[in-house]
Structure 1
Amino acid sequence: MIAAFFGALGSSFLYGYNLSVVNAPAQYIKAFYNKTWLERYGQPIGAETVTLLWSITVSIFAIGGLVGALSVSFIIKVLGRKGTLLVNNSFAVIAALLLSLGEMAKSFEMLIVGRFIIGVDSGIALSALPMYLGEISPRHIRGSIGQFNSILICLGVFIGQVLGLPQLLGQESRWRYLFTFLAFPALLQLCVLPFLPESPRYLLMEQRDEAGAERAFQRFLGKKDVSEELEEVHAEARARDNLHTVSVVHLLRSPAVRWQLITVIITMACYQLCGLNAIWYYTNGILREAGFAEQILPYITLSTGTIEILSAIVSGLVIERIGRKPLLIFGFSAMAFFFGLLTIFLNFQDRVLWMPYLSYICILAVIASFCSGPGGIPFILTGELFEQSYRPAAFMIAGTVNWLSNFAVGLLFPFIQEMLQTFAFLVFMVVCTFGSIYLFFVLPETKGRTFLDISQSFAKINKIPVSSPGQEMELVLSEKWEKAQDVVKMESSF
């Protein structure tokens, strides 16, 4: 629990915080761009140039995330899971300095570079953290521990909304401190995480450090006898064809994990393309239509952050009882249903006075549906569907799909919204429906199962033979017999 909380605090919390923190100071940052441009070139900046610079400032976060996701498998191979999380904090601290001091240095370039670097931090964190949490958790609470990632993302979004209120840091004289705050969770993680163990699976299967793995299991599980856990990892190692971490190319070509990879790619794409990011575009407009005063809109919007946190916590509490598959299917199906209702309500809200209130209820329902399953489980699944050697490459591909889809939504949604107007949400309804249907027919339940069991559950659809425990033991004994014969031959030869 401690490793999950502090690991997520310096990782997924910062990702969630950066999703919402730029909204409140947007007008002040644009004014800073204009002032800097005027001082440099002696003339005010054009409206198109301001829009371009602001768009780059917002969207370069996703480009940085993509770079981080592409580099994570190489960093993890060298530094391990915990080491990667620790080193990643340096990106957060550097970004905090650049974003905080940009106004003082009269350099809007520092803000853009800072947003890129914090994007790199988030791209690495969203791959390394779920991998670490999945490998340190016992089977019976692996899903609940994994949901710390989702809960801290939601908490980060909420804290970004709160600190951005006009009474706090959402003022022209204080907006830079919104970015200074980035350094505190990173520094707190740097103070705590070094005293926690590395992933025992990483130590045993990749570093061949059995004594270190045993000590790590003992500390995480709070017991001395961890022979059962060590044997589970050994069984997974014996069943693997390749004892070394595989490359992305090898993963893409391997028929043994083809449908696991397809499932993760579709789930990650639906995670970003399901339309939650587009919801924020409509929230304030619907509240204005309902007659709420402009000055109280930020406080009402906080209700969306509250719903996110509560839904993520409830999902973490019930995931080991209900399972991953039902929560994912329910989440995507409920989102599709409420997107349909929202489309109807948006088309009638000009004719009926109380219709905007129903639209806002639908928005809250969509957010709750997302956080109940799709908001966190895709990251858990990526760690569960692949065995140890494939996992870094799988997270690299999943992260790439995640950030490319994020960038595509930000780029394409304004055009979709302009073309379809209030019918834009029907596109997301189709995506959510497709996701739920695919998961219903393809995804096995992973609750309480070993990584080896989960991998073998895909054997039929991947059209590869399933090895039974007896066959595995026979294989191990035959390998030992062959080694013994080699020793006898070597001694005779000598």
Structure 2
Amino acid sequence: SQVYPQVGGPPNWSGSLIVASLTGAFGSSFLYGYNLSVVNAPAAFIKKFYNETWERRYGFSVDESTLTLLWSITVSIFAIGGLVGAIIVTPIVKFFGRKCTLLFNNVFAVTAALLMSLSLLAGSFEMLILGRVIMGVDAGISLSALPMYLSEISPKEIRGSLGQVTAIFICIGVFTGQVLGLPEIFGQESRWPYLFGAIIVPSLIQVVILPFLPESPRYLLLEKHNTSKAERAFQTFLGKEDVSHEVEEVLAESRVQRNTKLVSVLQLLRTRAVRWQVITVVITMACYQLCGLNAVSVLQAMASPRDKVHAVPFKNKMLLFVFQGLVIERLGRRPLLIGGFGLMIVFFARQFTTDTDLLFPLSGGIPFVLTGEFFQQSQRPAAFMIAGTVNWLSNFAVGLLFPFIQGGLQTYCFLVFAAICFAGATYLVFVLPETKNKTFHEISQAFAKRNKVSLEMQEMNHYSGERKSSTEQESNFTSSVDNGETKKGIV
């Protein structure tokens, strides 16, 4: 049976597609969200642990400024690890593939969980700090590898909806970290290491389930040149036997590219045909982090009692992202992004008279979706590295600078974020095309004029492979049969 029963009708979500997205997100973006919030509840206990360790080693208590510095490093160094992960993700996904990268990444998560959960027993706060760095590396890799995997296993008709799984599970992770930090659960002096040990659970679940699911069929075709495995992967994810159309569509992209050599970050930055796509990803990702949501979380933690769980804004965010996932293929990426930043400005205006629980953006995980849609297969890893680097640098900047901004501007500190949202929305109004249900070629055409690449040149670049004679195409794609498997190779 066909996945799409009628033209324009809603596609069927296969069981394998759902399991792959949920399992991948639970062991990846969930842990990112969890580690953003998990350090807030036990902050007082961790500082006490730092002080006691310092006194035992050196014979005197640590001064307040040094303790504050140690705590700031503990919190912010997660973003530094994330930056490292975003930088190294390109060679990893090239060597291991998308799915196997997610599996390999659990080594970082389990190692970090053991270091952080055993730090109190070992009497070493360095283990906790090192664990936060390693956990950041895990998050940096997963926030690039997971959207890449989801965008390549999903039909374009539901690509945006499936991409929202990343954002939804980030919110679930934040919410879970806050709930487990309650005094009635692990928010006690003797139990706070369990908050970090719990990281092992999502990792183990992913390790058990994900190996039974296929690798990205596009990766198998375009980078491993294994047609038979790619066909089986398509059949599994799409829930149908006849996948010849999907295979031919991907092979057509491969013929257009003429080779599947991955593009480096420097090469991508120098490519005129994707210049404005790169700029749009950078600005959208930066605005997503600099829009002030993380700052509101920091402000709540600073201004409220330890045992109060700030679950309301993140619960609202989670519900909003679920709603966004349902409507993104109907409304499109462009109105949700522009409208989201516009509403953020309205909500910032309400900060002067209402509680910050009302604040949440509509942009969600759309920046990650756009990164997967803007670029062809050979450019995608480099694009996600750029997006991830901007994401983590912006995240680190907010955590580092917001206390100073808040101290200097007080209530008016949110005007800075309102200005960022306004600038981002204005840019998107004039530059961002709608990408829902569009192929890479169609999206590239929408940027052609702005990139100062003629439509004729775009057509030549994309369809030059189609104009070749069958003899020439045969020379580009050689087939060999090995143990019953057809493998495609590029000469």
Deviation sequence 1:51-99 (CA, Å, 0-9, x none) = 1111111111000000000000010110010110000001000000000
Displacement of 1:478 in angstroms is 2.8
Larger helix share, 1 or 2: 1
Which residue identity lines up with residue 420 of structure 1 in the other structure? L
Whole-Å separation in 1 of the counterparts to 2:475 and 2:131: 61
Whole-Å separation in 2 of the counterparts to 1:172 and 1:306: 27
SS at match of 1:245: coil
Displacement of 1:465 in angstroms is 3.0
1:119 alignment partner in structure 2 = 136
Q: Is the 8 A contact 1:12 1:122 kept in 2?
A: yes
Deviation sequence 1:297-354 (CA, Å, 0-9, x none) = 624x221221121111111111111111110011100001111232x42xxxxxxxxx
Which residue identity lines up with residue 338 of structure 2 in the other structure? I
Displacement of 1:241 in angstroms is 5.8
1:339 alignment partner in structure 2 = 348
Q: Is the 8 A contact 1:387 1:455 kept in 2?
A: no
1:438 alignment partner in structure 2 = 427
2:122 alignment partner in structure 1 = 105
Match of 2:308 among 289, 298, 301: 298
Match of 1:163 among 159, 166, 180: 180
1:202 alignment partner in structure 2 = 219
SS at match of 1:225: coil
1:480 and 2:490 correspond: no
Question: Residues 205 and 303 (structure 1 numbering): CA distance in 2 closer, same or farther, change over 3 Å?
Answer: same
1:322 and 2:311 correspond: no
Which residue identity lines up with residue 314 of structure 2 in the other structure? G
Deviation sequence 1:204-242 (CA, Å, 0-9, x none) = 011111111111000000101111111221222222265
1:461 alignment partner in structure 2 = 450
SS at match of 2:450: helix
Question: Residues 470 and 112 (structure 1 numbering): CA distance in 2 closer, same or farther, change over 3 Å?
Answer: closer
Q: Which ranges in structure 2 are unaligned for 5 or more consecutive residues?
A: 1-17, 477-491
Whole-Å separation in 1 of the counterparts to 2:472 and 2:328: 45
Question: Residues 179 and 482 (structure 1 numbering): CA distance in 2 closer, same or farther, change over 3 Å?
Answer: closer
Identify the range of structure 1 (379-388 vs 463-472) with the bigger mean alpha-carbon deviation. Answer: 463-472
SS at match of 2:251: helix
2:86 alignment partner in structure 1 = 69
Whole-Å separation in 2 of the counterparts to 1:329 and 1:471: 31
Q: Is the 8 A contact 1:334 1:366 kept in 2?
A: no
Whole-Å separation in 1 of the counterparts to 2:402 and 2:302: 16
SS at match of 2:449: helix
Whole-Å separation in 2 of the counterparts to 1:419 and 1:183: 40
Which residue identity lines up with residue 341 of structure 2 in the other structure? F
1:418 and 2:418 correspond: no
Match of 1:94 among 111, 128, 133: 111
TM-score scaled to structure 2, two decimals?
A: 0.90
Superposed CA RMSD in Å reads: 2.0
SS at match of 1:265: helix
Q: Is the 8 A contact 2:115 2:128 kept in 1?
A: yes
Q: Where does 1:241-260 land on structure 2 (aligned, <5 Å)?
A: 242-260=259-277
Match of 2:197 among 166, 172, 180: 180
Q: Percent same amino acid among aligned pairs?
A: 60
Whole-Å separation in 1 of the counterparts to 2:93 and 2:473: 33
1:406 and 2:423 correspond: no
Displacement of 1:471 in angstroms is 9.4
Match of 1:230 among 242, 247, 259: 247
1:449 and 2:442 correspond: no
1:21 and 2:38 correspond: yes
SS at match of 1:98: helix
Displacement of 1:470 in angstroms is 10
Structure whose alpha-carbon radius of gyration is higher:
1
Question: Residues 485 and 104 (structure 1 numbering): CA distance in 2 closer, same or farther, change over 3 Å?
Answer: closer
Match of 1:385 among 366, 374, 379: 374
Displacement of 1:457 in angstroms is 2.0
Question: Residues 265 and 242 (structure 1 numbering): CA distance in 2 closer, same or farther, change over 3 Å?
Answer: farther
Q: Is the 8 A contact 1:73 1:393 kept in 2?
A: yes
Q: Is the 8 A contact 1:304 1:364 kept in 2?
A: yes
Match of 1:8 among 19, 25, 29: 25
Which residue identity lines up with residue 399 of structure 1 in the other structure? G
Q: Is the 8 A contact 1:236 1:451 kept in 2?
A: no
Q: How many residues align?
A: 458
Which residue identity lines up with residue 383 of structure 2 in the other structure? A
Q: Is the 8 A contact 2:291 2:418 kept in 1?
A: yes
Which residue identity lines up with residue 9 of structure 1 in the other structure? F
Q: Is the 8 A contact 2:465 2:473 kept in 1?
A: no
Identify the range of structure 1 (232-241 vs 180-189) with the bigger mean alpha-carbon deviation. Answer: 232-241
Displacement of 1:449 in angstroms is 1.3
Q: Is the 8 A contact 1:329 1:436 kept in 2?
A: yes
Displacement of 1:416 in angstroms is 1.2
Displacement of 1:484 in angstroms is 8.3
Whole-Å separation in 1 of the counterparts to 2:280 and 2:258: 22
